[in-house]
Structure formats: structure tokens, C-alpha cells
């Protein structure tokens, strides 16, 4: 955070503070989400959107990541905090991804399927959710998005643990696959975090 403030101080002097701040927030949203700091992730989404509204010239730093992880944070917050507030945000992200998917299935199909899976889980449509998680995994693998294949496996593991209990063999298998993919991607700290989750599933 100290380095972040130093960078933002420099950006303020050259007139690009808001633009750079939204980039930093987007990175922190992703990290907060994958490390299950849900309330922080929700706060950061709101803060980034506030800055964007104040400065209409700011564009998304990465349109796929911003939309996908905003949608994933929103489904998580809808399930655990305030569904009325967060579900419309998740649905809006899903609609954006669906539109982009018509132009480029390669880039967007896995993200669309993952948000659809999380929304189905939110609604209690468990059979549909299970299929959509597997579709997200399939598309991420086919299109070589290793890190998001890991996220999809992890979310699918969480889903199966919730509906079948932590001892669910499928939940454990998916979690092990997620850990392997995070390691393949080079996210060693996240792989260590997975060890704690795997212990909980024993």
C-alpha cells in the first residue's frame, strides 16, 4: 500500500491519478476475489465504479478482467450479503459478456459460463449450475486461459462442497485440479492458500 500511495502521488503530479487508481483497484479486486476477501472486493468494486462515474474519460484497464471479476464479486456478494443490490450488477456483467461472446467466443465464453454458473448457484438451480461450471472449465482449457480454468475449478469445488458437504469427492477433486493449475500458472502463493481449503475438505 505504501508503494501504491507513492505511485498515485506521482500520477497526481502528472494528471493521471484517476486513470492509474482504477488500474490499481482492478488488480486489487482480482486479488481480493481469488483470496476470498469478499467484503474488501465488494468495497473495491464500488470504489472503482465511483471513480469512473466522476471521470467519464476513464476506460476499463482490461475489459474482460474488469467485467468478469466484477460479475464474480457481485454474485458472491449477492449470495452472502445483499442480493437486491448485487444481483443486478452480476446480471449486467453477464449481458456484456454474452454480447461480446457473439463476436469472440475464444475470449469470452469461459467467463460467460462461469458467471452463468454462479447465478444458477445463487438461484438454487444446482443441476444447471453443475453443467455450467463444467462448461466454463472446458472453454477455459480449450482457449488456454489457465488462470481462469483454475478459478472455474475452484468455484466448482466450492459449489459442490456447499451442496454435498465438504467431504464431497467431486469438491476435493476439483480443488486439487485448481491447485495444480494455479501452480502451472506460477501463482505459488495462491497454491499455498489452496492447502488450507484442502485441509477443510478432509
List, for residues 23-39, the tens digit of each pLDDT value.
888 888 999 999 999 99
The percent of residues above 90 in pLDDT, for the chain, comes to 67
> Across residues 10-29, what is the average pLDDT?
71
Determine the distance from the C-alpha atom of residue 172 to the mean position of all C-alpha atoms in its chain, rounded to a whole number. Answer: 20
Greater pLDDT, 12 or 193: 193
* DSSP string across 7-65: HHHHHHHHT-HHHHHHHHHHHHHHHHHHTT-HHHHHHHHHHHHHHHHH-TTPPPSSHHH
**Amino acid 202: pLDDT:** 47
Collapsed DSSP state (helix, strand, coil) of residue 125:
coil
Q: Output helix, strand, coil percentages for the chain, rounded to the nearest 5.
A: 85, 0, 15
In the predicted model, is pLDDT for residue 18 greater than 70? no
pTM of the entire structure?
0.88
Closest to 197 in 3D by CA, of 181, 188, 174: 174
- Kindly state the cell numbers that stand for 141: 482449457
Burial of 75 (0-12, 13-18, 19+ CB in 10 A): buried
Amino acid at each position: 500500500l505504501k508503494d501504491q500511495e507513492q505511485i498515485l502521488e506521482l500520477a497526481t503530479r502528472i494528471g493521471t491519478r484517476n486513470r492509474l487508481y482504477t488500474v490499481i483497484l482492478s488488480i486489487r479486486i482480482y486479488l481480493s476475489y481469488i483470496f476470498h476477501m469478499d467484503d474488501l472486493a465488494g468495497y473495491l468494486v464500488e470504489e472503482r465504479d465511483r471513480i469512473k462515474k466522476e471521470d467519464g474519460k476513464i476506460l476499463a484497464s482490461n475489459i474482460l478482467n474488469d467485467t468478469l471479476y466484477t460479475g464474480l464479486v457481485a454474485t458472491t456478494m449477492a449470495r452472502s450479503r445483499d442480493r437486491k443490490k448485487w444481483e443486478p450488477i452480476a446480471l449486467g456483467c453477464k449481458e456484456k459478456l454474452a454480447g461480446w461472446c457473439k463476436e469472440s467466443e475464444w475470449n469470452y465464453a469461459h467467463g460467460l459460463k462461469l458467471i452463468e454458473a454462479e447465478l444458477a448457484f445463487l438461484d438454487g438451480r444446482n443441476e444447471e449450475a453443475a453443467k455450467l461450471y463444467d462448461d466454463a472449465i472446458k472453454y477455459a482449457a480449450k482457449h488456454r486461459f489457465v488462470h481462469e480454468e483454475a478459478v472455474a475449478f475452484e468455484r466448482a469445488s466450492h459449489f459442490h462442497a456447499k451442496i454435498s458437504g465438504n467431504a464431497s469427492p467431486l469438491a476435493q477433486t476439483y480443488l486439487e485440479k485448481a491447485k495444480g493449475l494455479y501452480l502451472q500458472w506460477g501463482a505459488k502463493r495462491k497454491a499455498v492458500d489452496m492447502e488450507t481449503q484442502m485441509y477443510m475438505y478432509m
